[in-house]
Amino acid sequence: MNQPISKRRRPVVPDVGSGSMIPDEVLLLEILVRLPVKSLVRFKSVCKAWCANIASPHFVRLHLELARASSSSMVLVLRKYQPEPTKVASRFVHIYSFQPAAQSKVAKLIMMNKPCPNGIPRFTIPLHCDGLVLIPSVTGHIFVCNPATKEFVELPPGTRNVSLDQRVAFGFDPSSGTYKVARHFLRSYSKGQKRTEYDVGHEVLTFGDGIETLEWKATIDPPYPINARTPICLPGFFYWSAVQSVADVDHGKLATDVILRFSMRDDTFTVHPNPPCRSCLSPNDLMCELSGKLCYVHSPSPCEVSIWLAQDGQNIITWSLRCRVNLPIPRILRVYACASADQGTVFLSVDARHLFKCNLHDGSLETVVSMPYGLLYDHGEGRSSFAPGCGYMTLRAVAELGPKSSRGQSLKNKANL
């Protein structure tokens, strides 16, 4: 006698907080928070409760903090050299992830995108914040992408800049829970017999606040002309290098630089001194962020590097020398410092080509990899190569990419795509 075939029932996954065998705190704070981004994106479709918890600002913050503390990943954005800055340098954006602490010297492709029909002109150092990568070009075009969700958007144009020396800042504002992009621009300039007068402006674009239309809003003007160098972002603040004065000396002009700290909370600037090692930000020096502090990498000669850290208190930045380093390979231009999960070490990249691990206690170096010749780029689908079609590379040290692009809101929602 034939028995009726019963319909196969779909197993019911219990909602978080509705009788699950695993306690909520264990599931969220011990299991899900340790999973990679791709898994979390898939698990959001399990049920509404899982989706809400994974997308919550609290969960995203824990995921990011755990990722930063447990590993150091580097985002590599490859670029070709373009002598004419206004011409197209890249039609595709290739973003790779590399873990220098691992034994494998392989950078894995995490995103390839064709941003726009006209491509991207020559761009400066990309910036990273909580899983988002911002790519500013010298012509004023600014692109933001989320490698986790493969989203790519071009921000609206800002105020016209009469110079190609534009730089952009990008970071998170904890006071408002939003992300902000800042840019300085040059309205005009006039050359006099003794000095050049500059009319400099500054504006900010905010997203992640639920407002559909993205627009630039002017702030007060910077008190001094801002150098065309990549600024640094710490929670709630942007740090720019600016020219305070220029003096005529026997062999030319001597500039005195200061550091302008822009507050995202109230859109104001405060002025702070350079470290005592240098009165101006020379072409061989740069600012960076290390362990949540402002860092100054000073290179007085091709084989010498000193690392200075800022101690911030009462709106006054005081500097202390962290260590001195002797380079085994002379730098041509500058040395980039990249944060490590271990606060006692830092990664140093000589001309974004030779990567070393530096012990901050004694300045000793350990060779990690030669970027153009020792690092294998995995393009996926079984294809790989060394330094694929690129003459220059940009290196940026970041934590593991967060589960969403902005504290529970996707880049698509923020950019109104």
Mean pLDDT of residues grouped by 10 in the chain (417 residues)? 43 45 63 73 77 75 67 73 67 81 80 70 81 85 83 88 84 90 89 74 87 88 88 92 71 78 94 89 87 89 94 79 94 86 84 89 91 84 66 39 37 35
pLDDT at 27: 66
In what helix (H) or strand (E) does residue 214 lie, and over which residues does it extend?
none
The number of beta carbons lying within 10 Å of the beta carbon of residue 187 is 14
The number of beta carbons lying within 10 Å of the beta carbon of residue 87 is 11
| Collapsed DSSP state (helix, strand, coil) of residue 86 | coil
pLDDT at 13: 41
Q: How far is CA 127 from CA 207, 342, 395, in A?
A: 16, 21, 10
* Token pair belonging to 299: 């290179």
pLDDT at 381: 76
Q: At what angle do helices 57-70 and 48-55 cross, to 10 degrees?
A: 60
d(CA 367, CA 283): 25
pLDDT at 206: 93
* Token pair belonging to 132: 């988002």
Q: Are 376 and 386 in contact (CB under 8 A)?
A: yes
d(CA 116, CA 124): 18
Q: Are 398 and 73 in contact (CB under 8 A)?
A: yes
pLDDT at 263: 95
Query: The whole model's pTM is what?
Result: 0.79
d(CA 399, CA 208): 20
The number of beta carbons lying within 10 Å of the beta carbon of residue 110 is 19
SS in 3 state form for 240-307?
EEEEEEEEEECCEEEEEEEEEEEECCCCEEEEEECCCCCCCCCCCCEEEEECCEEEEEEEEECCEEEE
Tokens 């006209």 label which residue? 118
The number of beta carbons lying within 10 Å of the beta carbon of residue 244 is 18
Q: Closest Cα partner for 86 from 137, 144, 156? A: 137
